[in-house]
Amino acid sequence: MRDFYGVTLDSPLMLGTAQYPSPAVMEAAFRASGASVATVSLRRETGGGQAFWQIIKGLGLHVLPNTAGCYSAREAVTTARMAREVFETNWIKLEVIGHADTLQPDPFGLLEAAETLAAEGFQVFPYTTEDQVLAQRLVDAGCRVLMPWGAPIGSGLGLNNRYGLRMLRAAFPDIPMVVDAGLGLPSHAADAMEMGFDAVLLNTAVAQADDPVAMATAFGLAARAGRMAHGAGPMAPRDMAVPSTPVIGKAWL
C-alpha cells in the first residue's frame, strides 16, 4: 500500500465529521468504521469548540483539515494557514470550489493555492477532477497525493466517470489517490478500491444514513474488501463464456 506523505494508513477509509445527528453518534460511527483519517473543517471546529476537538483527539486518528467552502485561492490559503495552527498538522485537504451547484473544483484557483501551500511546507491533498493535465500540474506543484472526485459532493452517485478515473489511476501509478466525494453506497467504495485507488473519503452517506453506525461499519468493510480484491488480482472481463469445469479427460459419449 502506498503511503501518504510518509504515513501508512491502517485502513483505506477516510471519514468526514459533519452532519451527524450528535457528537456521540459521530464518535460511535468512527469507531465502528475503523477509519484511519478524520477530515475536519476549520468552521466545524470553531462551531463545536473544545468538546468536538477532544472527541477527534480521543479517536486516535490522523486528522486531515480541509478548506471546505472556499471559492478562491486566497480564501483557501488563509483557511489552510489557520487550520495548521488549530490542528497542528501540515496535512491539508485543499478545496477551491468553482461552481456553486456542482461544487466542482476550480482548477485555476486549486493550482494557485496548491503552489502557495506546498511552498510553505504544507502536505497538500487536492480535491480535484479526473483531468490528467490538471493532475500533472498539481504533482509538479508539489502535491504527492491526488483526490479525484467520484461524483459531486453529497450526490451519492458513485463513480460518474469510470473511464476517466481508470485513465488517471494508470497515468500516475506511483501517486497515492483517494476517491473523494459522491460515494453513496458501500459498493461504490469497493468499486473504487477494486480499480486500484488507495483510499476513499466520504461523509454524507454515513452521517445522514438512518443508522450512521451501521453504515459506517458497512463502508469500512467494503473499502477493505475492495483493497483486498485489487491486491488479489481480479480476473479480466471476457466476451465469451469460459467453463469452470475442465473438459480435459471428459468422457465423450
Catalytic residue among 93, 144, 169, 227: 93
For the question of residue 57 being annotated catalytic, the response is no
Instruction: Give 42's Cβ-side CA count (13 Å radius).
Output: 23
In angstroms, the CA 229 to CA 239 distance is 21
In angstroms, the CA 90 to CA 151 distance is 27
Within 10 angstroms of residue 158's Cβ, the number of other Cβ atoms is 18
Are 220 and 5 within 8 A, CB to CB?
no
Q: Which long-range contacts (CB under 8 A, 24 or more apart) does 188-192 make?
A: 188/150, 188/158, 188/159, 189/13, 189/219, 189/222, 189/223, 189/226, 190/222, 190/223, 190/225, 190/226, 190/229, 191/158, 191/159, 191/226, 192/150, 192/159, 192/165, 192/226
The gap from C-alpha 149 to its chain's centroid, in whole angstroms, comes to: 8
The sheet with strand 178-180 has its strands ordered as: 147-148, 123-128, 91-94, 62-66, 37-41, 13-16, 199-202, 178-180
Q: Which secondary structure element, helix H or strand E, spans residue 13, and what is its range?
A: strand 13-16
Residues assigned a catalytic role: 93
